[in-house]
Amino acid sequence: MKILYLDCGMGAAGDMLTAALIELLPNKAEFLSELNNLGIPGVSITSELSVKCGIRGTHIVVKVDGKEEGICAHACEYEHSHDEKHAHRHSGMHDIEHIIKQLSVSEKIKADVLAVYSLIAEAESHVHGVPITEIHFHEVRTMDAIADITAVCMLMDRLSPEQVIVSPIHVGSGYVDCAHGILPVPVPATAYILRDIPIYGGKIKSELCTPTGAALLKHFATRFGDMPIIKTIAIGYGMGKKDFAAANCVRALLGE
């Protein structure tokens, strides 16, 4: 039986999961080329070597119209009235669904991407107390998230594990400055997505698990728990942007 174990001792984000899983492939460059030709508007995706605490791994860089999105991942806005205007453009779920349906991937992968994004939209809707139709996402962060989610869905399809086991998730602690103001960690959307899932905090004052990372883990996990007895055939390290005393990475172990 092919088993994928995801070690989320330093949380998870979409780019970290992408990087960890892409390291399990024999040809990263070929996959990245395929990813860049999907037709996600304005998006370019590259990988680079990253070293955290002496451990060598991969960092994924997603740029939208040549710019890389900031670290804060809480990308949602919602409209109180038609009179409110924002200086930046937004995308609603209808726009996101349209983009996903146009991608050059299989219907199964499209369904996975839509299911993951629906988990995020449902969480934002619950947190803000407004219908999903009124939830709007910053356009740049939307494209960034679509790229991450699509990449992970494609990689899961390519690797085809029979079981996906995820460790208890380290979510971080403290507060993060986002669009709505200063929010507790985990941010409300992440906390909602991770309900009924084993999580924990700690001394690291930072957001370690993003809504995108949480939704991907929830969608694909067969179960959550300790690493089973497996014979590993490939190991991947997906590095985050920040540096901490502990190696900031998601570790993926593929085995039987």
What are the tens digits of pLDDT across the range 70-111?
Answer: 544 444 443 333 334 344 455 788 889 999 999 999 999 999
Q: What tens digit of pLDDT does each residue of 22-34 get? A: 999 999 999 999 9
What CA–CA distances, in Å, run from 38 to 82, 151, 154, 185, 230?
34, 10, 11, 34, 34
Mean pLDDT of 187-194: 96
Rounded average pLDDT over 144-155? 96
In this predicted structure, what is the pLDDT of residue 90?
Answer: 59
Beta bridge partners of 45: 62
Binning pLDDT at 50, 70 and 90, where does residue 65 land? confident
pLDDT reported for residue 67: 83
Q: What pLDDT score was predicted for residue 138?
A: 66
**Higher per-residue confidence, 144 vs 68:** 144
Residue 41: the pLDDT is: 87
The pLDDT tens digits for 107-141 are 999 999 999 999 999 999 999 899 988 887 765 57
Q: What is the pLDDT of residue 115?
A: 97
pLDDT higher for 66 or 204?
Answer: 204
pLDDT at position 83 is 38
